[in-house]
A and B are shown apart, each in its own frame.
Chain A
Amino acid sequence: DVKVTQSSRYLVKRTGEKVFLECVQDMDHENMFWYRQDPGLGLRLIYFSYDVKMKEKGDIPEGYSVSREKKERFSLILESASTNQTSMYLCASTQRGWEGYTFGSGTRLTVV
């Protein structure tokens, strides 16, 4: 069964910490995405990547960076975690931008 795996299901971090969220897909997909989901705001795109070492800003990139050194892995980095980054983070991948996405199970991050 094809999969997108996010490294942590729940994470608690302190304000100011550098946080790494990892995502791995086993489908050889070109495109990978990071979203955050908050009540009342829906899914919002943070960053995406359509190739190794390529990245594009989404709608809310401030406070985040990403890394894609290998095709199967897309990392989201919170440079200095803040309480307003407490959220559910979802990684997704797809072979072509118009095809259905496969999502991971999500990481619920709490910044205290």
Chain B
Amino acid sequence: SQKIEQNSEALNIQEGKTATLTCNYTNYSPAYLQWYRQDPGRGPVFLLLIRENEKEKRKERLKVTFDTTLKQSLFHITASQPADSATYLCAPSGSSNTGKLIFGQGTTLQVKP
């Protein structure tokens, strides 16, 4: 069955450093991979989408890579700030207009001042 793995242990880093979060998937050949941010008690918020033919995508301090050979996506936040503290979810997806998203369990990032 399809499986999505994100590091369940919280990631603690110092303000100003780069945070790197990992998303691995198995039994899957997604055409896209999405990343979301979720704050406690709130719904996830869409951040970025990367296509299978894109190696890398950037948005402000965020960078996402997508390696279909390794079946892995990396999510980087550069110059991290305490306000970046949240849980980050990845979700591989197909290309269907009526498809559904299955989410990883998320990795909690804590940025310390």
Contacts and interface: CB of A to CB of B under 8 A. Distances in A.
Dominant secondary structure at the B interface = loop
A74 interface: no
B100 A58 contact: yes
B110 interface: no
A103 B102 CA distance: 14
A97 B43 contact: no
Contacts of A31: 97-98
B44 A48 contact: no
Contact of B46 (A48, A102, A106, A108): A102
B31 interface: yes
Interface in B34-60: 34, 36, 41-46, 49
Contact of B100 (A48, A90, A103, A108): A48
B43 A104 contact: yes
B49 A100 contact: yes
B31 A98 contact: yes
Contact of B104 (A42, A92, A101): A42
Given A90-B43, A98-B94, A43 B89 contact: yes
B98 A97 contact: yes
Contacts of A48: 100
A45 interface: yes
A96 B45 CA distance: 17
Contacts of B36: 101
Contacts of A4: 43
Contacts of B31: 98
Interface of B: 31-32, 34, 36, 41-46, 49, 89, 93-106
